[in-house]
Amino acid sequence: MDPRLRTIMSSKIDEVIHRSNEVLAITKSLEGLVDDEEKVAFGIALGRVYNAFHYQTRRILKRNATEQEFREFVAMLSPRAEEIKHALRLGKQQVHHD
């Protein structure tokens, strides 16, 4: 993966983790409509990162990602998935305590 893209994607993953309250606000608004808010929140968070990957690839490289770049993106995201889940759980606990 292009080093510029790798740097931006690392920042985007950090952003999703640090701004988990935004994702939780969305899932809270869906209360009663979804069976598992935690899974929906995780899906939204992953979707934000996935969308950023495609957008940034087009913006920086002026083309769609190759299959190899996509695999590298998945390999970059996978180890941080638990970190994203943890941030969402912490954010949810903070909302319940406030």
Q: Return the ∠ at Cα 95 (arms to 30 and 24), rounded to 5°.
A: 35
Tokens read off for 74? 């998945």
32 Rama sector, left if φ>0, alpha if ψ -120 to 50, beta otherwise: left
How confident is the model at residue 37, as a pLDDT?
87
| Segment 68-84, tens digit of pLDDT | 999 999 999 999 999 99
Which domain, by its residues, includes 34?
3-97
| Segment 7-49, tens digit of pLDDT | 999 999 999 999 999 999 999 898 888 888 889 999 999 999 9
The model's pTM is 0.87
Task: Say how many domains are in the chain.
Answer: 1
